[in-house]
A = this chain, B = another copy of it.
């Protein structure tokens, strides 16, 4: 019997496991392989393919012309086939970063079957890999005390819904009785309460920066900013629907008006320090839009405000909500109350760059103090991770 048992186990470990037993296959091909010199080798076993390319954010972009103008499109690189039908491509040495990619096989975009690490960005799923070092080492898991990440539901009386959020509590929270400041961290259009954890590496960044003494231990609350949506796609009562950016009530004032429901829930259920000087809020893109409005609607709530590549449209408020009315007066009140930090960050090729410059000009004209941080590149998660690592050390000091 022992022999049969072992043989069966071996069989079950093989790549092609029978359907009537659990599929325990593991990839037999290594792809991508990060080489010691920080070059990366991609491999795909596809004897029947006529053409295999890799596309990803580690490749130089290429100019494309569209009806909307000229843009930098993702670069592609050709994999080369050997006699056995194995396709391969090795990059030049890459700078430390979290990168994403997909393969293109005879015009069909696919994920790398050898790489189980994938992240969803709204409705796109890409494989990822990491080149360690420099700032990117903050995105990796290290042997440091780890916080807890919880997916939790709260009641929003304002929206009349149960809604899901993600909460990071710092290492030691559960076993101690200390109270902590709270940072509310908001996602962009089409994102959800998973985005900062998956794409933003928020838990790893917090673990590492808190362990290094670069950030205060804090609770971080990642909400779902789509006021019509209970939770991330697949986590709602509506089943496994395709994700969409075309959600109603994303910028109609609903989320901003319902935001105190979140703060009340967190203050009631966590050991928070429930005052302005121990609350921060920041968001990327649409989350920056939300942050700007929430922080001015509730000028006694947040002492730290971060606009990351914020979707700001001066004088072009999207719908007729009280949230978007009397903006000048509300900003005046907010700045009279002197928030400790009003931080604006954007990439120099971001499509929202001009809008942000216009907003900075407005703040300058009114003498409202802010801190500005500019990076290369555009409206991308690489920048939002960088902004998070720059914003955190400034909080709760």
Residues of A that sit less than 8 Å from B by CB: 1-2, 5, 7-13, 16, 18-27, 30, 44-50, 57, 61, 64, 66, 68, 71-75, 100, 105-111, 113-118, 120-126, 128-130, 132, 140-143, 145-146, 148-153, 162, 164, 171, 174-175, 188-190, 231, 233-237, 239-240, 242-246, 268-269, 285, 313, 316, 349-351, 354-355, 377-381
Please state the number of chain copies in the assembly: 2
Answer whether A148 and B150 are a contact pair too, CB < 8 Å, given A20-B378, A121-B24, A237-B141: yes
13 A-B contact pairs sorted by A residue (CB < 8 Å)? A5-B313, A9-B189, A19-B380, A24-B245, A26-B243, A110-B111, A115-B240, A116-B234, A117-B234, A132-B239, A143-B237, A145-B153, A146-B153
Q: Which B residues touch A26, using CB under 8 A?
A: 122-124, 190, 242-245
Closest partner residue, chain B, to A309 (CB atom): B22
**Residues A188 and B11 in contact, CB atoms below 8 Å apart:** no
Answer whether A24 and B190 are a contact pair too, CB < 8 Å, given A110-B113, A146-B153: yes
Q: Which of B1, B21, B75, B234 contacts A378 (CB 8 A)?
A: B21
Closest partner residue, chain B, to A171 (CB atom): B153
Q: For the complex, what is the distance from the CA of A30 to the CA of B243, rounded to whole Å?
A: 11
Answer whether A116 and B110 are a contact pair too, CB < 8 Å, given A5-B313, A190-B26: no
Closest partner residue, chain B, to A75 (CB atom): B19
Q: Which of B124, B125, B349 contacts A24 (CB 8 A)?
A: B124
Q: Which B residues touch A114, using CB under 8 A?
A: 242
Closest partner residue, chain B, to A132 (CB atom): B239
